[in-house]
Amino acid sequence: MATKELNVSLDAEGFMTDPNQWTPEIAEAMAEEEGIAPLTERHWQVINWVRKEAARTGEFPSLRAISKRSGVDTKELYELFPKGPARKIARCAGYPKPKGCI
């Protein structure tokens, strides 16, 4: 299913604007568009940890935080979510585009 048909609000780049609307089906649809479907148990470990952490702190965690504490290291993150893991993880986890720090 394409993410446009999911009946959730997306921004111009296809990121969800309201993480509360997220469902596991959305993650699968996003993964499809990102070319990383089907999601494996290791993908889910990251997505679930990120959603829990973001709910706890109110902020989407940095890639460094994910690699340190989700149980999946940076090398594997790049294998699971190649070319820009932060952005792909954010899409699958239903969060807006991570703000590039400046």
Partner 1 sequence: MKRLLILGGGTAGTMVANRLVRELDMNEWHITVVDQDEIHYYQPGFLFIPFGTYGKADVMRPKRDFLPREVEVIISEVRLIEPEKNLVHLVKENRTLRYDYLIIATGSRIAPEETPGLMEEEWRKSIFDFYTPDGAVALHRFLRTWRGGRLVVNVAEMPIKCPVAPLEFLFLADAYFHDRGMRDRVEIVYATPLSGAFTKPIASQQLGDLLEQKNIQLITDFNIAGVDVDKKAIVSYDDQRVEFDLLVSIPTNMGSEVIARSGMGDDLNFVPTDKHTLKARDYDNIFVLGDATNLPSSKAGSVAHFQVDVFIENFLRYIDGLELLPTFDGHANCFIESGHGKGFLIDFNYDVEPLPGMFPMPGIGPFSLLRESRINHWGKMMFRWVYWHILLKGREMPIPAQMSMAGKWQR
Which residues are the active-site residues?
101
Stretch that binds partner 1, among 8-16, 23-31, 33-41, 75-83 (CB under 8 A): 75-83
Identify the DSSP state of 58: S
Q: How far is the CB of 11 from partner 1 (least distance, A)?
A: 15
Q: Measured in Å, how far apart are the chain's first and last C-alpha atoms?
A: 36
For the segment 6-65, give every residue that binds partner 1 (CB under 8 A): 57, 62, 64-65
Between 5 and 35, whose beta carbon lies closer to partner 1? Answer: 35
Q: What residues contact residue 77 under an 8 Å CB cut-off, 6+ apart?
A: 46, 63, 66, 67, 85, 89
For the segment 79-98, give every residue that binds partner 1 (CB under 8 A): 82-84
Between 28 and 53, whose beta carbon lies closer to partner 1? Answer: 53
Q: How far is the CB of 81 from partner 1 (least distance, A)?
A: 10
Dihedral (CA of 32, 85, 90, 24) sign:
positive
Q: How far is the CB of 28 from partner 1 (least distance, A)?
A: 23
Identify the DSSP state of 16: B
